[in-house]
Amino acid sequence: MHWVHASAFVVLLVSGLCLYLPSLAEIVGRRPLLKSIHVYTAVGWLAALVVIVVVGDRAALRRTAREIDMFDRDDRAWLARRGGAPQGRLNAGQKLNAVVTAVFALLFAVTGFFLWYGERDTRFRFAQTVLIHDWLMYVSFVLFVGHLYLSVVHPTTRHALSGITRGWVHEAWAARHHPKWAATFDVPRPTVDDDR
């Protein structure tokens, strides 16, 4: 689900920016093609999410949804930066990011639909639709850059990229950054300087 969402987001962001920014639109010069790419990517993204829910591992999706939905005392402490509150498989920031991403995806889909349909039937042109869609893009772009920084650049968190690309992380890293999760697998405690 992560890669379906991520790849669709990148295509939608690039094609949307080319439609939105006059300088990029002039460089590309094929606005109708970009608009088609943008719309069909959105439709493909929604279809792929439906396929994942219908044919995928629904039990794992339910477990992940429950985990994201549950903010315990440690999560609240982590968000308040009151020290190294132990975290589960997903830390509080990842849970919050998942919630915001889901809400934004829904809002993008709804506003995108009305932008598309409003071109065909002017009764469905709403004054704030473009504004909402644009602001969602601004905020999503900032969150996306932050997400990339934490997953690719930041030294203490970039090892998590191994979990999303290869399906595993080092036991010592998991024990240090996600101790509640690591405890369920009987992982040894990390050494002081082991921050891989």
Over the stretch 38-53, which tens digit does the pLDDT of each residue have?
A: 999 999 999 999 999 9
Structural element, H or E, at residue 69: helix 58-69
**22 has a pLDDT exceeding 80:** no
Helix, strand, coil percentages, rounded to 5, for the chain: 75, 0, 25
Question: What is the DSSP code string of 124-182?
Answer: G--TTHHHHHHHHHHHHHHHHHHHHIIIII-TTTTTHHHHHHTS---HHHHHHH-HHHH
Look at 42 and 123; give whichever has higher pLDDT.
42
Residue 190 above 70 pLDDT? Answer: no
Domain interval for residue 39? 2-137
Whether residues 116 and 181 share a domain: the answer is no
Examine residue 38 and state whether it is found in any structural domain, yes or no. Answer: yes
Query: Do 114 and 61 share a structural domain?
Result: yes
Query: Quick check: is 192 in a domain?
Result: yes
Mean pLDDT of 111-128: 85
Give dist(CA 194, CA 96) in Å, integer.
27
Task: Verify that 23 and 64 share a domain, yes or no.
Answer: yes
> Is residue 121 very low, low, confident or very high in pLDDT (cuts 50, 70, 90)?
confident
